Amino acid sequence: MRKWLLLLLAGCPLQHSDGVDVAKLPPDLRDDYGVFAQRCSKCHPLARPLTSGIDDDEYWKRYVERMRRQPGSGIAVEDEPAILRFLHYYSEQQKLKKGAL
């Protein structure tokens, strides 16, 4: 785990304002969430992608690439896989919740 991410998560409540409970994430996705949260919140609230209803991995890939190219986004090419892994997981969880209703 990256040291900066440990520091970021240590200083944050487990339940974030975006509704994501980090403690309930699979351990292997917590770093990915940290990258997502840090990078994507730089330009907009995390609720924007999380409530978008997007559940297609190819669409997420194009979306994250487009966001990365925005001036000042802070998203590096190396960040994309982590962000995409988290968004895939989150989208799948949202689909399961909708199916359970």
pLDDT of residue 20: 87
pLDDT of residue 18: 67
pLDDT of residue 7: 43
pTM of the model: 0.80
pLDDT of residue 15: 41
In terms of residue numbers, what domain contains 87? 3-100
**What does the block give as tokens for 1?**
């785990």
Reading the chain (101 residues) residue by residue, the pLDDT tens digits are 454 444 444 444 444 556 788 999 999 999 999 999 999 999 999 999 999 999 999 999 999 999 999 998 999 999 999 999 999 999 999 899 888 54
pLDDT of residue 5: 47
pLDDT of residue 98: 84
Give the count of domains, the chain: 1
pLDDT of residue 2: 52
Helix, strand and coil in the chain, % to nearest 5 = 65, 0, 35
**CA separation (Å) from 17 to 37, 65, 96?**
11, 25, 22
pLDDT of residue 31: 96
